[in-house]
Amino acid sequence: MSEPHVHRDSVPLRRLEAFSDGVFAIAATLLILDVTVNGSPLSAELLRIWPSYAAYAVTFVSIGIAWVNHGTVLSLIEATDRRFVLLNILLLTFVAFVPFPTRLVALHILDDEARAAMLLYGITVTVGAFVFTGLWFYAAKGRRLLKPTADEHLVEGISRSYLAGPFVYVVATLLAFVSPLVSAALFIVIALFYLLESSLFARH
């Protein structure tokens, strides 16, 4: 029953994309539910909650970048198997969890609970990044699930880049023990780096 068994559990790429796109889009859009304001006058409150805007913007863009990378992986894959599908569900579990620590960071980055909030944020993003890297290497190892046409140079470049990624997040997370604000700043710098890298270098 091996062949049928494999067939039975693999999901067409098209539906994997649709489900993943849905989770990425919903997780990003739900972030706005945590931007709230109490007290008055409203104009002063709207200025006071600037960490909420920053947390919203940085996390929305970070989820967007993760979605771009996810698209890159899927575009290089010929087909899924059951383990790939389950790793993908595990990845989405972390993507959809992100709004919770984001809310905590927005609320507490300026008070003395900042360390706990940044640690939870950092752990979520870091473990999620490791799962993402695992997803890629599961597909790429021995070109297990890759398209025959996927360029070997490109595959190796992605492997190097995805291997390094999570460790940058480890550093940013550990920095929360030294200073939660510096840790938060590094997460912002990482998001900006991705944006600028593509603006400056993508076209030559």
**Shortest distance, CB of residue 35 to a second copy, whole angstroms?**
5
One residue of 48, 147, 157, 185 binding a second copy per CB under 8 A: 157
Neighbours of 117 (CB within 10 A): 23
**By the rule CB under 8 A, 85 interacts with a second copy:** yes
Distance of alpha carbon 164 from alpha carbon 20, whole angstroms:
24
**Shortest distance, CB of residue 91 to a second copy, whole angstroms?**
10
| Start-to-end CA span in the chain (Å) | 51
Output the CA torsion sign for 119, 122, 126, 128.
Answer: positive
**Shortest distance, CB of residue 174 to a second copy, whole angstroms?**
16
One residue of 54, 72, 121, 179 binding a second copy per CB under 8 A: 72
**By the rule CB under 8 A, 40 interacts with a second copy:** yes
One residue of 51, 54, 78, 82 binding a second copy per CB under 8 A: 82
Neighbours of 190 (CB within 10 A): 18
**Shortest distance, CB of residue 33 to a second copy, whole angstroms?**
7
Site string for a second copy, 113-142 (x = CB under 8 A): x-xxx--x----------------------
Among residues 94, 124, 118, 89, the alpha carbon closest in space to that of 104 is found at 118
Tell me which stretch binds a second copy (CB under 8 A): 79-87, 126-134, 170-178, 180-188.
79-87
CB 195 within 8 A of CB 181: no
**C-alpha distance from residue 33 to each of 52, 86, 107, 133, 177 (Å):** 11, 29, 13, 30, 29
**By the rule CB under 8 A, 86 interacts with a second copy:** yes
One residue of 38, 79, 83, 149 binding a second copy per CB under 8 A: 83
**By the rule CB under 8 A, 78 interacts with a second copy:** no
Q: With both helix axes pointing from N to C terminus, report the angle between 82-97 and 2-9 in degrees, rounded to the nearest 10.
A: 20
Residue placing its CB nearer to a second copy in the complex, 151 or 178: 151
Token digits for 32? 């706005």
**By the rule CB under 8 A, 28 interacts with a second copy:** yes
